[in-house]
Amino acid sequence: MKTHIKIGSRESALAVRQAEIVKEILEKKAPGLTVEIITMKTTGDRILHKSLEKIGGKGLFVKELDRALLDGTIDLAVHSLKDMPMEIPRDLPVVAYTKREDPRDALILKAGKISLKQGGVIGSSSRRRSLQAAKLYPRCVFKNIRGNVQTRLFKLEHEDYDATILALAGLKRLGMEGCVSRIFSVDEMIPSAGQGILAVQGRKGEKIPGVEALDDDKSRIAAKAERGFVRYLDGGCTSPVAAYAEIAGREVRIRGLYYHEESGQFTAGTISGEAHQGEVLAKRLAKSLKGRF
């Protein structure tokens, strides 16, 4: 049994904080274990002047960490689940889904502004967010913005943007929720599949002390349902397809959004049922929404 492990993380402040959350739990639940965080810059972090869909999708945020796991440089990798590709290597399974942080999206206005006026520019690199926000702010325009939380907030203040939209989970983990101007409900803006959940990835068959303490049953059920919805619709990492599963007791309620590329239209719906049937229900909802076109 290992007594010292290395956790791989992207270099951003948020990614490091997320790795620290995992480190703290492991060291608490496995006395005698020491944990080191190894950071690295991924291809997705280096290329910020192009949209993800033009450079290969969100897999660009994980491939360096995958390689480090495979060659033994690190023992675990921590990712925002929403940033992970739908297909995960069999040799590198997700060994834990952490307790979910707030899954909602949040609007941040440029300093000094109290509202968005006609023609206001909203920075968003997510078509999912832009499509749904366009219904809430029909008089605004959307402009691509990429980078980590601090980079986007810097661009908001110094470039031609009036607002941006970020995941509330990341802002809370960084202690930055004070900059939020509006929090969108999950009905106003259905979150990205897995938003708010951290995925801890390891090597197949390898036991790491304390990992079981990281896993949250509700998060695992929600993650599989949401990603099952997206997978059924062939929704790649840059697709505006969205899903959110809310679990209460033994019941689950799944919200889903499907975008029809040919018509440029999207539709949303919900389905409820027993939580252990989450993946089946999610696929049923996905099939129903797709059938509307």
* Structural domains of the chain, with CATH: 1-99+197-214 (3.40.190.10), 105-183 (3.40.190.10), 216-293 (3.30.160.40)
pLDDT at residue 106 in the model: 98
pLDDT at residue 15 in the model: 95
**Considering 45, 83, 102, 162, which one is annotated as catalytic?**
83
- Reported as a single tens digit per residue, the pLDDT across 30-86 is 999 999 999 987 654 554 444 445 444 445 567 889 999 999 999 999 999 998 988
In this prediction, residues 157-171 reach a mean pLDDT of 98
What mean pLDDT is reported for the chain? 92
Judged by average pLDDT, the poorest of 22-26, 49-53, 205-209 is: 49-53
Cα angle value 83/135/109 (rounded, 5°): 65
Of residues 122 and 236, the one with the higher pLDDT is 122
Which of 30, 8, 11, 12 is closest to 209 using CA atoms?
A: 30
d(CA 199, CA 72): 19
SS (H, E, C) 155-213: HHHHCCCCEEEEEHHHHHHCCCHHHCCEECCCCCCCCCCCCCCEEEECCCCCCCCCHHH
By percentage, how much of the chain surpasses pLDDT 90? 85
Contact status, residue 64 vs residue 40, Cβ threshold 8 Å? yes
In this prediction, residues 216-221 reach a mean pLDDT of 98
Which of 132, 78, 67, 144 is closest to 105 using CA atoms?
A: 132
d(CA 281, CA 76): 31
β-pairing verdict for 182-183 and 121-123? unpaired
Strand partners, 166: 106
Rg, the chain, Cα only: 19
pLDDT at residue 247 in the model: 97
91 is catalytic: no
Position of tokens 């590329």?
Answer: 261
pLDDT at residue 215 in the model: 97
d(CA 262, CA 227): 23
262, amino acid identity: E
- Reported as a single tens digit per residue, the pLDDT across 114-154 is 999 999 999 998 999 999 999 999 999 999 998 899 999 99
In this prediction, residues 219-223 reach a mean pLDDT of 98
Strand partners, 164: 108, 123
